[in-house]
């Protein structure tokens, strides 16, 4: 894992995966070919020394429960809020994490052998070192083989504890990814029909988390969207406007920005604006853009599902959005005024 600007702290998603195992998740809005199971409540593991006042968990749950109410229950979902104060507590939590990964498959060894194998993995060893050294890293992880589960890991949650706004914001953002992952295939490339592009995964989660924060009265949503253009908001510079001035040939659907380091500007910021463009300029219902069209991706594929629900093909959408986003701040911000006037 690597350090990134505040909101996008190591949210390096590879896409989404459909999972039809009833042990993997439950959705109150399941697609026809996804089998719902009983509701699985998220489980939070908090290291000793954190949450002494209860605010860390309370503010995380504020975002998580809002997202669950909107997207439905998916899980098992384990949240790890860690810190360096107690090595014993940290190692106990990682042991519990190992147990959540263990299966009854005898070919994988005994429970003790599976637990030992997980804790000896180089990435887990390095992650524990990061926790104990106080490094702030983390993000969403998930399994692609039984047992299917999702995890939100923060190696040093002291920063989250001190910043209730970002704590809630991060919980909202990550759970939108959990929903996305449940409806597409992470084993395939992001450009494939059964997976989603990075701008869709990160942009829609950036938009939704900001919008939900606005709904809760915690931020000014429209001001935030403007700040993405002018200053980069809580994601960081260069801003959208700065990026566009220096990159006239940018492509929203280009997956190469993970390698060039410009992923924050394209996938998160411009992706959020592409989401806003669908909702506020094309007047597509928010729930369709953020949630409902995903249900058809496993059955129809990304392109067909997008065209069915958005009323425009991805091929048609890209140049239209490109022309829109290059306009001045005053012009693009009018899409919010127009929709307010419709109500």
- Residues 291-304, mean pLDDT to the nearest whole number: 96
Same-domain check for residues 311 and 213: yes
pTM of the predicted model as reported, rounded to 2 decimal places: 0.88
Is 80 exceeded by the pLDDT of residue 94? yes
Range of the domain at 234: 198-342
Number of domains in the chain: 2
Phi/psi class of residue 110: alpha, beta or left (left: φ > 0; alpha: ψ in -120 to 50)? beta
Which pLDDT score is estimated for 40? 78
Tokens 């219902």 belong to which residue? Answer: 285
Tell me whether residue 89 is in a domain: yes
Which pLDDT score is estimated for 97? 97
Is 50 exceeded by the pLDDT of residue 296? yes
pLDDT band at residue 38, thresholds of 50, 70 and 90? very low
3-state helix, strand, coil in the chain (%, to 5): 55, 5, 40
- Domain stops at, among 181, 209, 234: 181
Tokens 């052998």 belong to which residue? Answer: 113
Task: Identify which has the larger pLDDT, 37 or 290.
Answer: 290
- Residues 74-99, mean pLDDT to the nearest whole number: 97
Which pLDDT score is estimated for 28? 32
Tell me whether residue 29 is in a domain: no
Task: Identify which has the larger pLDDT, 28 or 197.
Answer: 197
Same-domain check for residues 97 and 167: yes
Give the rounded percent of residues in the chain with a pLDDT score beyond 70: 87
Phi then psi dihedrals of residue 276, to 5 deg: -60, -40
Same-domain check for residues 147 and 206: no
Same-domain check for residues 212 and 159: no
Mean pLDDT score of the chain: 88
Tell me whether residue 21 is in a domain: no
Same-domain check for residues 205 and 334: yes
Same-domain check for residues 174 and 218: no
């Amino acid at each position: 894992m690597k350090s990134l600007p505040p909101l996008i702290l190591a949210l390096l998603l590879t896409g989404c995966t459909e999972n039809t195992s009833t042990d993997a998740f439950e959705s109150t809005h399941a697609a026809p070919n996804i089998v719902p199971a009983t509701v699985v409540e998220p489980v939070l593991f908090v290291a000793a020394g954190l949450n002494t006042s209860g605010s860390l968990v309370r503010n995380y749950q504020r975002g998580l429960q809002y997202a669950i109410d909107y997207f439905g229950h998916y899980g098992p979902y384990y949240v790890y809020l860690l810190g360096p104060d107690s090595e014993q507590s940290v190692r106990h939590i990682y042991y519990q994490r190992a147990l959540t990964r263990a299966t009854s498959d005898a070919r994988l060894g005994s429970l003790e052998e599976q637990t030992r194998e997980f804790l000896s993995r180089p990435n887990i060893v390095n992650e524990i070192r990061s926790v104990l050294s106080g490094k702030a890293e983390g993000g969403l992880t998930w399994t692609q083989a039984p047992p299917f589960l999702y995890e939100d890991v923060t190696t040093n949650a002291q920063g989250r504890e001190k910043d209730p706004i970002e704590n809630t914001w991060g919980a909202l953002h990550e759970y939108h990814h959990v929903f996305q992952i449940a409806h597409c295939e992470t084993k395939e490339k992001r450009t494939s029909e059964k997976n989603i592009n990075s701008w869709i995964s990160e942009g829609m989660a950036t938009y939704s988390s900001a919008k939900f924060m606005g709904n809760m009265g915690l931020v000014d949503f429209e001001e935030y969207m403007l700040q993405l253009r002018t200053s980069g908001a809580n994601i960081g510079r260069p801003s959208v406007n700065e990026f566009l001035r220096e990159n006239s040939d940018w492509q929203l659907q280009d997956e190469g920005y993970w390698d060039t380091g410009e992923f924050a500007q394209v996938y998160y910021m411009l992706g959020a604006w592409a989401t806003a463009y669908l909702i506020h300029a094309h007047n597509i219902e928010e729930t369709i853009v953020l949630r409902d069209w995903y249900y058809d991706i496993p059955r129809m594929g990304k392109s067909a599902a997008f065209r069915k629900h958005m009323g425009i093909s991805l091929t048609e959408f890209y140049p239209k959005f490109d022309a829109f986003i290059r306009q001045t701040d005053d012009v693009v911000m009018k899409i919010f005024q127009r929709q307010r006037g419709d109500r």
